[in-house]
């Protein structure tokens, strides 16, 4: 007879901890994006919020940043929207391939 603990050990995969970490990061990013959008009302904000809610992975959320930025820019202006998005951009660190991560711009 196999004990429950040995069965769990057998079924645990090395990537499982990584998956949990990725899910946690995705939840933080999703929550941050939705909190920015919920401050404002309107059809456009609701549509973008719906897409954020149902994004299936980090990469999908990464590409939705532009939609969030555009929606916020229409209400708050581009400078304020970019300032709000900085926090969200930081949340992606370590979750995406290096070529997709936010770059710092110097002017």
Give the pLDDT of the chain (107 residues) as one tens digit per residue: 544 444 444 444 444 444 566 889 999 999 999 999 998 888 999 999 999 999 999 999 999 999 999 999 999 999 999 999 999 999 998 876 555 555 555 55
Greatest CA separation found in the chain?
67
- The reported pTM is 0.72
CA dihedral (26, 35, 45, 67) positive or negative: negative
**How many CA atoms does the CB half-sphere of 22 hold within 13 Å?**
13
């Amino acid at each position: 007879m196999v004990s429950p603990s040995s069965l769990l050990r057998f079924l645990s995969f090395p990537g499982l901890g990584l998956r949990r970490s990725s899910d946690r990061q995705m939840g933080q990013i999703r929550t941050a994006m939705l909190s920015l959008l919920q401050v404002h009302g309107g059809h456009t904000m609701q549509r973008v919020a719906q897409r954020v809610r149902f994004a299936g992975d980090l990469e999908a959320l990464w590409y939705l940043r532009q939609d969030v930025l555009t929606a916020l820019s229409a209400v708050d202006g581009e400078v304020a929207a970019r300032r709000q998005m900085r926090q969200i951009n930081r949340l992606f660190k370590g979750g995406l391939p290096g070529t997709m991560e936010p770059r710092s711009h110097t002017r």
